[in-house]
Amino acid sequence: MANVILKNLTKKFDDVVAVNNMNSTVEDKAFVVLVGPSGCGKTTVLRTIAGLEEATEGDIYIGDRLVNDIAPKDRDIAMVFQNYALYPHFNVYDNMAFGLRLRRIPKLEINRMVHEAAKILKIEDLLKRKPKQLSGGQRQRVALGRAIVRDPKVFLMDEPLSNLDAKLRVQMRTEIAKLHQRLNATIIYVTHDQTEAMTMADKIIIMKDGIVQQTGGPQEVYDHPNNMFVAGFMGSPAMNFLDAAITDRMILKGGMFELNTADRIKKIIKDNNLIGKEIVLGIRPEDLEDSNFVQNIPANSTINANVEVTEPMGSEIYVYVDIEGILITARVNPKSKCRSGEKASLCVDIDKMHLFDKDTEKSYI
Amino acid sequence: MKQSRKERTIVILTITPSVVAVGVFVYGFIAWSIRVSLSDWIGIRPDYTFAGLKNFISLFKSVRFLIDIYNNIFFTILFLAICVGGGLFLAILLDQFIKGEGIFRTVYLFPLAISPVVSAVVWKWIFSPKVGVNVLLTNLLSKIGIERTVEFGWYTSTASFGPFNIALIPIIIAASWGFVGYVMAMYLAALRGIPAELKEAARVDGASEFKIYMKVILPLLKPITLSALIILGHISLKMFDLVYVMTGRGPGFVTDFPSIFMYETTFAANKFSQGAAISLVMLLMVAVVIIPYLTMSLRRET
């Protein structure tokens, strides 16, 4: 096992900068998720680590060894591809054994290793089948099997679950997490799905336009996003953003609302000299509740607005209200009587608000 | 799913003309050829007197016909080898995403667009013993100081290498030139259909570029190779126009093919019954190649 270090990594395709001066460390045995919208450069980072793309600038270290000029096969990595990339003309056994045979491992040893990996992934019954005869989930297991059988230093996974249906995806998510614990391996995992990132990662690296936006643990990036992009990207439904001005008495004032601030927020306002300034207020949907279900509502902590749509989820209701032309999402108690077309009063958890700079979109701390 | 009456009527209406046409012009005429081959028809006037297998027996006693079959089999083997090997080689070269790929593709495919009669005339000149490549070789030799006139007989040569007539070499070159681009196009399309991830997976698995082609890419091209062999195989077994214009039967039948024999027997000597027998033997040869392919692809569909 080994750590992976990226130093000033830049990758350009002609004039397009896919990865811009990235500095990151993946600790030994960590499960690191690279997440971002499509085209953000996350897959390029993974492919550069794998050696399938050459870094334009910067250095890549795997286990303290500079690997810039080392061929993929000598980097001691295994990659799981989005479309599985199983060899269609080999059966499952041969798919898993292929890499071992190329390394001239004795036959008996190969046999033992393949069966061991197959046992871990519960695909022992499938060893004689061709990929065509497998379901999506089974193919995914074989692709994982092909990776783990080689016992590499680092696993690279490129959106391995995106071709599975929703239910299977949740199941495989847990299995990959379990696999990580069992193998004690370093895993770098690329996805565009923030839920996968939140649920599986020890550390999340959020990227946009080739630039790392924030690196941190799942709860850390959720609770303390660096900027509006991270705040909006992590969490589902996404964080709501409202324009607001800060009054002399540290009240957040928008066109349709006036909100008091908690002590924590007051400190941020003081530290950043925000009195009298325009800011962007961020509120997570779970920090908005139907006022009928909140006891002891503090003064100036509700927003009244027209309900546009309600989406009952069973355990809660998503209520979409219109505030100055912006659709705001609230996750409210399932017993809420909010109806579309009617007015609703939503109570804001004033301790959990996020303040962002209007121009730089950076978070105030 | 149950079809409505209207849908069924449309299906029947659209299929009927081609079924009738194929039935009459293909199977009807095959049946007629069989009948003629079993008759005594010589001369312009049809004569359907039943003559049994007489025509076939005399055919297999004919020296010319046995030479023709030999020629055709050797021609086919070499023609297929060059087209498939060359086509694959060109396709792999073009698949490296080189600049000007479109130009090369067109250049390689272009011979297919030229009428075999036209290319036959050109190749006939190129391999003419008194001009063509012989002159070129003579000039090249004189450049390196050897003053000597090269005199290969090419398609007029009666020398043979075992059962293989050397005179066939120019024809094999001419025919392969026509079809190698076609095979290249088939392979290139297949290569483009192989996901890049597969190559990358093999690269990460530890395969060298050579191994990637040997172990991953080539096995995936197997169906294309089979199709190419069958398509070229039946073209080769029926080869007529190119050979007829380029060399004809040649001295001592060195470049004779069953098709030329059939043409001359039927339309020059007016031995219709004998000609029909030759064409039926050719049909059987082609059937040996085509029928396994058809059953295989039909089985795959159901």
The answer to whether position A364 is within a domain reads no
B195 neighbourhood in chain A, CB within 8 Å: 83, 85
Q: Which of A83, A88, A146 sits opposite B220 (nearest CB)?
A: A88
Give the end of a domain, one of A206, A233, A260.
A233
Same domain flag for A303 and A247: yes
Please say whether the beta carbons of A83 and B200 come within 8 A: no
For residue A258, the SS3 value is: strand
What's the DSSP call for residue A348? E
| A80 shares a domain with A157 | yes
Helix, coil or strand: residue B217: helix
Question: Does the distance separating the beta carbons of B207 and A102 come in below 8 Å?
Answer: yes
Residue matched to tokens 């007829």 = B244
Q: What is the rounded distance in angstroms from the CA atom of residue A146 to the CA atom of residue A97?
A: 8
Q: Is residue A363 part of a domain?
A: no
- Integer-rounded Cα Rg, in Å, for chain A is 25
Non-local (6+) Cβ contacts of B178 within 8 A are B111, B112, B114, B116, B119, B242
Contact A289, A330 (CB under 8 A): yes
Domain end position, chosen among A202, A233, A264: A233
CATH number (domain holding residue A264): 2.40.50.100
Residues of B in contact with A159 (CB under 8 A): none
ipTM of the complex: 0.83
- Asked if B33 and B276 count as a contact pair (C-beta separation under 8 A), the reply is yes
Contact between chains at A103 and B197 (C-beta distance less than 8 A): no
Q: Name residue A241's beta-bridge partners.
A: A282
- At A286, list the tokens: 């779970």
Chain A residues in contact with B198 by the CB 8 A cut-off are: 85, 87
User: What's the full length of chain A, in residues?
Assistant: 365
pLDDT at position B228 is 92
Instruction: Please count the structural domains in chain A.
Output: 2
Chain A residue with minimum CA distance to B208: A73
Q: How far is A354 from chain B (nearest CA, A)?
A: 42
Position A9 pLDDT exceeds 90: yes
Residue of A73, A148, A150 to mutate when probing chain B, most B C-beta within 10 A: A73
Question: Taking an 8 Å Cβ-Cβ cutoff, which residues of chain A contact chain B?
Answer: 50-52, 71-73, 77-79, 81-83, 85-89, 98-99, 102-103, 146, 150
B118, B126, B179, B244, B259 from B115: Cα distances, Å? 5, 17, 12, 13, 18
The answer to whether the CB atoms of B200 and A98 lie below 8 A apart is no
By three-state DSSP, how is residue A4 classified? Answer: strand
Residue A41 located in a structural domain: yes
Residues on chain B touching A88 (C-beta within 8 angstroms): 220
Tokens encoding A155: 């696993």
Percent of chain A's residues with pLDDT above 70 = 100
- Using left for φ > 0, alpha for ψ between -120 and 50, and beta otherwise, residue A29 falls in left
Instruction: Look up residue A313 and give its two tokens.
Output: 């989820």
Which helix (H) or strand (E) segment is B203 a member of?
A: helix B196-205
Q: What is the pLDDT of residue B302?
A: 67
Chain B residues in contact with A102 (beta carbon < 8 A) = 205-207, 211
From A214, A233, A252, the end of a domain falls on A233
CATH number of the domain where residue A163 is located: 3.40.50.300
A70 and A155 both lie in a single domain: yes
How confident is the model over A256-293, as pLDDT tens digits?
A: 889 999 999 999 999 999 999 999 999 999 999 999 99
Tens digit of pLDDT for each residue in A103-152? Answer: 999 999 999 999 999 999 999 999 999 999 999 899 999 999 999 998 89
Q: Is A334 helix (H, G, I), strand (E, B) or coil?
A: coil
3-class secondary structure, B129:
coil
Calculate mean pLDDT across residues B146-153: 78
- The answer to whether the Cβ–Cβ distance between B202 and A83 falls below 8 Å is no
**Which pLDDT score is estimated for B151?**
77
State how far residue A302 is from chain B, nearest Cα, in angstroms.
Answer: 53
A73, A78, A87 member nearest B198 (Cβ): A87
Which residues of A are less than 8 Å from B204 in CB distance? Answer: 50-52, 72-73, 77-79, 99
Nearest to A85 among B198, B206, B211 (CB): B198
**Other CB atoms closer than 10 Å to residue A321's CB: what's the count?**
26
Average pLDDT, chain A: 92
Do A283 and A354 contact (CB within 8 A), yes or no? yes
With CA atoms as reference, the chain A residue closest to B218 would be: A89
DSSP A249: T
Measure the CA angle with vertex B19, ends B15 and B20; round to 5°.
Answer: 120
Query: Do A227 and A356 meet the contact criterion of CB atoms below 8 Å apart?
Result: yes
Q: What is the pLDDT of residues B82-131, one digit of tens each?
A: 999 999 999 999 998 888 888 999 999 999 899 999 999 999 999 988 88
Strands (E), chain B: 160-161, 164-165
Residue B202 distance to chain A (closest CA, Å): 8
- Considering the domain architecture, whether residues A184 and A279 belong to the same structural domain is answered as no
Provide φ and ψ at A63, rounded to 5°: 55, 45
User: Would A122 be classed as within a structural domain?
Assistant: yes
Task: Measure the CA–CA gap between A330 and B27, rounded to whole angstroms.
Answer: 75
Assigned domain for A365 exists: no
Question: Tell me, what's the pLDDT at B140?
Answer: 86
CA distance A2 to A5: 10
CA distances from B101 to A202, B84, B98, B187 (A): 47, 20, 6, 15
Q: What is the pLDDT of residues A51-90, one digit of tens each?
A: 999 999 999 999 889 999 999 989 999 999 999 999 999 9
Can you give the residue ranges of every domain in chain B? 12-301
As assigned by CATH, the class of the B12-301 domain is mainly alpha
Which residues from B are below 8 Å from A82, CB to CB? 197
Determine the residue among B197, B204, B300 to mutate to test chain A binding: the one whose Cβ has the most chain A Cβ atoms within 10 Å: B204
B272 to chain A, minimum CA–CA distance in Å?
A: 51
If asked whether residues A199 and A65 sit together in one domain, one would say: yes
Assess contact for A287 and A238: CB atoms under 8 A: no
Q: A253 lies in which domain range?
A: 240-289+299-357
User: Collapsing DSSP states into helix, strand and coil, what is residue A6?
Assistant: strand
CB A142 within 8 A of CB A150: no
pTM here? Answer: 0.81
B interface with A, Cβ–Cβ below 8 Å? 195, 197-198, 200-207, 211, 215-216, 219-220, 222
Residue-wise pLDDT for B164-179, tens only, equals 788 899 999 999 999 9
Strand order in the sheet with A278-283: A258-259, A252-253, A240-246, A278-283, A354-357
A78, A83, A89 member nearest B204 (Cβ)? A78
Pairing of β A317-323 and β B160-161: unpaired
| Residue A211 backbone phi and psi in degrees, to 5 | -115, 135
**A306 and A181 share one domain:** no
Report the distance separating Cα A158 and Cα A165, nearest Å: 17
Residue keyed to tokens 């059987």: B284
Asked if residue A16 and residue A40 are part of one domain, the reply reads: yes
Give me A73's structure tokens. 């096969």
Q: Band the pLDDT of B135: cuts 50, 70, 90.
A: confident
> What span, in angstroms and rounded, lies between the C-alpha atoms of B126 and B34?
41
Which sign does the torsion angle of CA A177, A179, A181, A186 carry? negative
Asked if the Cβ–Cβ distance from B211 to A102 is below 8 Å, we say: yes
C-alpha of A336 from chain center = 31
State what percent of residues in chain B have pLDDT above 70.
98
Interchain pair A102, B195: CB under 8 A: no
pLDDT tens-digit readout, B225-240: 998 999 999 899 989 9
Give the residue ranges of DSSP H helices in chain A. 42-50, 92-102, 107-121, 136-148, 166-183, 194-200, 218-223, 228-233, 263-271
- Identify whether residues A37 and A123 lie together within a single domain: yes
